[in-house]
Structure 1
Amino acid sequence: MHSRLRNRLGWLEAGLYLGGVALLAVFFQLRADAELQREQGVRAFEASLADKAASHSGWIPDQELWSDKRIRDYEESIQVDAEPPLALMKIARLGIEVPVYNGTDEFNLNRGAGRIKGTAWIDSPGNLGIAGHRDGFFRGLKDIEIGDEIELRTAGGAVNYRVSSFLIVEPDDVSVLGKTAETTLTLVTCYPFYYVGHAPKRFIVKAEARHPSLKF
């Protein structure tokens, strides 16, 4: 009798073991599938933004307020293969839609806006600084108002910001880019918007995140 009981327990133990192995296999397969879908989503997002930023046959930004020089620089920049943007920023009321690249060198700012290095990463909490040319993509900021909505979309989701203030500072005033505990956005461009030559001031827009869908 004891031998029969041991056999039954042995079969039960073996069954539980095999069942556990099967569940682990399913778990890891689901994780692998989810990771594959995430990577495919990231690639698709990057490809779509790259197409927008680098193809005349697709999306072309609203250039009504742009200077002639900025239009020429933009058209030259999109002929060059480059890294895809990090995000797409929209300010619907102002008609601003601009790809955001990593860094603020002239090449990036000719074809979009640029994340200011040393500020928060695109999909992380903190103060994210983004710069753009006053006679190009950021010309529309001249009409910004407190309460305007800004959407920053990445492959991981979107963060919606609401403009809380705007101000004019000296070029060497970097306090506006200081670290914050909250998820904030600081837009920087030269000022005055229609100044001839090198503009002597900087126009700053501050915005705070509301209901972010990104998983930090």
Structure 2
Amino acid sequence: MQSVSPSTTQWISRLCLLAGTVLFGFWCVPTVYGLVFSHVVLSRFQAHHAETTAWAPGRVAAYRNALKVAAPPAEAVLRIPRVGIEVPVMEGTSKLVMNLGAGHIEGTASPGGAGNVALASHRDGYFRHLKDVHVGDRIEVNSTQGNNVYQVDSLQIVSPSDVASLQPTAKPVLTLVTCYPFFYLGPAPQRYIVRASLLSTSQVSTNTAAPHLER
């Protein structure tokens, strides 16, 4: 039996390594491209100035000042098409985040994830038109994880100490929180809660990653 030379063995090993690299590339490149593209689109969305026509003058001033500061990256985009709400979602509820968009409330499910996803924003800013939302309205949350569509189940007014709406849930839901009344002068005494259940979810396409995030 003829033995295989060391040079032949080395050549075969290199060929196998190259083949494995190519096959991995076919899977990896589209996936990584889709995620990177989604992050780029979210950043581009965040860079656009908000439509502030209906905002309170003080909130507009706070928003413009916040634009001068390096903002945290957007994790998702929240849309309520019927009332014209379109807002970048960022982590936390700091003053900067709340002036620039909607904040993901710590301890609740991440945007695009399962469970209770809770987001908050100002009643005189991005969430001004939350007062016009009706039961049955559709809400979209577009993130790098996928695209979720919710339907509004309930609207309620609660005290600031009532945090029942922020508790974990077995089913996937979306909870939007803002201060109430909407046109109250000074610190608002109540909270306005919009609760919606998940209707559908879809993964971000690796070929055309979240094209509808474009503005």
TM-score (norm 2): 0.83
Asked whether the equivalents of residues 166 and 205 of structure 1 are also in contact (C-alpha less than 8 Å), the reply is yes
Report the equivalent of 2:112.
Answer: 123
**CA-CA distance at 1:35 after TM superposition:** 4.1
Superposition RMSD in Å: 2.5
Residue 144 of structure 1: aligned partner: 133
Unaligned runs of 5+ residues in structure 1 are 8-15, 53-59
Name the CA shift for 1:204/1:24 in 2 (closer, same or farther; >3 Å): same
User: Aligned-pair distance for 1:111?
Assistant: 1.0
State the alpha-carbon separation in 1 of the partners of residues 42 and 153 from structure 2. 30
Change (3 A) 1:214 1:36: closer
**Match in the other structure for 1:26:** 22
Change (3 A) 1:161 1:33: same
Match of 1:38 among 24, 34, 46: 34
Higher CA-based Rg: 1
Number of residue-to-residue matches in the alignment: 199
Q: Displacement of 1:181 after TM fit?
A: 1.8
Distance 2:80 2:31 in 1: 31
- Give the drift of 1:62: 2.6
Letter in 2 for 1:165: S
Higher normalized contact order (CA 8 Å, seq sep 6+, divided by chain length):
2
Shift of residue 165, structure 1, vs aligned partner: 0.5
TM-score by length of 1: 0.82
Aligned partners of 2:35 and 2:144 also within 8 Å: no
1:12-51 deviations in whole A, cap 9, x for unaligned?
xxxx999976653332222332343134313322321232
**d(CA) in 2 for partners of 1:100, 1:18:** 47
Rate the CA distance shift 1:147–1:110 in 2: closer, same or farther, 3 A: same
- Give the whole-Å Cα distance in 2 for the aligned partners of 1:137 and 1:50: 13
Alignment-derived partner of residue 198 in structure 1: 187
Whole-angstrom CA distance in 1 between matches of 2:31 and 2:202: 19
